[in-house]
Amino acid sequence: MPAAARRAAAARWPLPPLLAGSAALHAAAAGTALLSPAAWPWALAAVAANHLLITAAGLTPRSALLGPNLTRLPAASAARGDFAITIDDGPDPEVTPALLDLLAAEGVRATFFVIAERAAAQRALLRRIVAAGHSVQNHSLHHRHHFSLLGPRALAREIAGAQARLADLSGQRPHCFRAPAGLRNPFLDPVLHRLDLQLVSWTRRGFDTREADPQRVLARLARQPAGGDILLLHDGHARRTAAGQPVLLAVLPPLLARYRAAGLQPVTLADAVPRRHAPH
The catalytic residue positions are: 88, 234
CB atoms near residue 4 (< 10 Å): 8
With beta carbons less than 8 A apart as the criterion, state whether 180 and 145 touch. Answer: yes
Dmax over Cα atoms in the chain, in whole Å? 71
- DSSP character for 39? G
CA dist., res. 96 & res. 252, Å (int): 13
Question: DSSP string spanning 209-255?
Answer: TT---HHHHHHHHHSS--TT-EEEEESTTPPB-TTS-BHHHHHHHHH
Distances (CA, A) of 220 to 87, 159, 206, 228, 232: 16, 30, 5, 16, 10
Helices 95-106 and 247-261 meet at what angle, rounded to 10? 20
